[in-house]
Amino acid sequence: MTASMPHAAGAAAAEDPPILQSGLHRSRTVTHGHAEPESEVATMKKTVMGIGPMLQSLNVMNEELRKRKDNLLRDKLVLEESIVTCNKEKDEDTTKLSEASESLKKLKTEHDDGKANAQKEIESLKQQILDRDKAICALVDTTKAEARKLCGLVIWYRIITHKCRKTRDCSLSSVLRVEQTLRILKTRPSLHTGFQADKLIHTTVRLPGIFSPRPRDFSLPNSSWSPKMMELYDHYNSQCDLETEDIESQKGPWIRLPSYNRILKYAKGGVYLSKIMQSKARLFTRNVYQVGASFEYVIFLNKEEKKCVCLFQAGHLLEGPPGHVHGGAIATMIDTVTGTHATFLSGLVVTANLNINYRNAIPLGSTVILESTLDHIEGRKTHINCKVTSADGSKVHTEATALFVSISVSHLMGM
């Protein structure tokens, strides 16, 4: 029994708090050691008295721990709840994502289908354009005779109507002749390009008297031209061969280009162009009858040097900054001269790009020279340079580069 005592005491010591342990230990020692009992009791009492506050603090600690445990349990519950909510949201998001990717897939399919359809439409339109071009080429190239006949009829019709107007000949035979021509023209196969005999006749009939078969040539000198302008004109004009109907017979280096439609014949391929494009409209620069008021100019072409020179005198209608020429009017002249030049070099063209540097303002009424030179031709593109200088060449007013792109007749008709 005694042998097992220390073991039991040791086990109790392991479970009890340290102060309690030391008190018990001492009482055991006292019992076994036969020490003075009274003092030992007093010590024991003291020890027991000390245990009370210790137990109290232990209770407080215990309470705190319990509270912490409760809090942790509550937090755990909250976390569990939010995990459930998160999982729910995650599920919802996954569903939404799959729905979105589904609709995206649908949209993509629709887009691809639309694109394929558009591509098909583009192809078919391209084909239509090609067919239209082919039809025009067929007419222009293979049935020239037919087209010429058509043009001949138009011209004939114009002459008859003009004669009738002039002589006030309203006789039955004249009316019948006109009617008959009209009928023939209307039965001609019209191209799918807006180039319709009907329209042509309509335009011709309704043109006012000023558009006579002999239009005024605005490139000829008039009373508004300054002495400088006249001097320069004489200089270039003296180097021109006389203009004749047959361009092949013009042997001089310079040609003075008349202002009206007939100049188309000088363009590359223009002899035929001038026949199928019977427009009587003029460049807007030639639409002011009051001499000296707006664009007074003449263009000379040098076939050998492949360049153009334009003598230009700006009138008061072209005022921009006080006393000076408007930049747009200068741009117009540059476009006109380089455009004419490019037409001569490359046939039917349109301006694709025009870059202008205005260096010095041009005084109204002064004479300037626009010199247009070929930079290079690259496929459909004709690059032209242009310089505007004072009449004596001492001052550079403007410098420009222009790009012209060759177009087909059908492009022009469809523009």
Task: Cite the active site residues.
Answer: 335
- In the complex, the smallest distance separating the C-beta of residue 415 from ligand 3VV, rounded to whole angstroms, is 6
Considering only residues 271 to 300 of the shown chain, the ones binding ligand 3VV according to CB under 6 A are: 283
| The residue type at 367 | T
Q: Order of strands across the sheet with 349-358?
A: 254-257, 295-302, 307-314, 367-378, 381-390, 396-406, 349-358
381 binds ligand 3VV (CB under 6 A): yes
C-alpha distances (whole Å) from 306 to each of 254, 272, 346, 355 are 10, 21, 11, 21
301 binds ligand 3VV (CB under 6 A): yes
By Cβ distance, which residue is nearest to ligand 3VV? 339
276-285: long-range contacts (C-beta < 8 A, 24 or more apart)? Answer: 276/140, 276/147, 276/151, 276/195, 276/409, 277/409, 277/412, 278/151, 278/154, 278/200, 278/204, 279/203, 280/203, 280/204, 280/207, 280/211, 280/215, 282/215, 283/259, 283/336, 285/332, 285/333, 285/336
Name which of 144 and 380 has its Cβ closer to ligand 3VV: 380
- In the complex, the smallest distance separating the C-beta of residue 345 from ligand 3VV, rounded to whole angstroms, is 8
The number of residues that bind ligand 3VV (CB under 6 A) is: 25
353 binds ligand 3VV (CB under 6 A): yes
Q: CA-CA-CA-CA torsion for 282, 287, 292, 297, nearest 10 degrees?
A: -20
Task: Report d(CA 275, CA 146) in Å as an integer.
Answer: 12
Name which of 205 and 281 has its Cβ closer to ligand 3VV: 281
Considering only residues 30 to 89 of the shown chain, the ones binding ligand 3VV according to CB under 6 A are: none
Name which of 23 and 270 has its Cβ closer to ligand 3VV: 270
335 binds ligand 3VV (CB under 6 A): yes
- In the complex, the smallest distance separating the C-beta of residue 225 from ligand 3VV, rounded to whole angstroms, is 22
Which of 10, 322, 379, 394: binder of ligand 3VV (CB under 6 A)? 379
Query: Using CB atoms within 10 A of its CB, is residue 378 exposed (0-12), middle (13-18) or buried (19+)?
Result: exposed
- Count, in order, helices (H) and strands (E) of the chain: 10, 7
Which of 352, 360, 375, 392: binder of ligand 3VV (CB under 6 A)? 352
- In the complex, the smallest distance separating the C-beta of residue 254 from ligand 3VV, rounded to whole angstroms, is 11
Q: Specify the stretch interacting with ligand 3VV by CB under 6 A; choose among 50-58, 144-152, 188-196, 261-269.
A: 261-269
Query: Using CB under 6 A as the criterion, which residues of the chain lie in contact with ligand 3VV when the complex forms?
Result: 257, 263-264, 266-267, 283, 301, 335-336, 339-341, 343-344, 350-353, 379-381, 403, 405, 407, 415
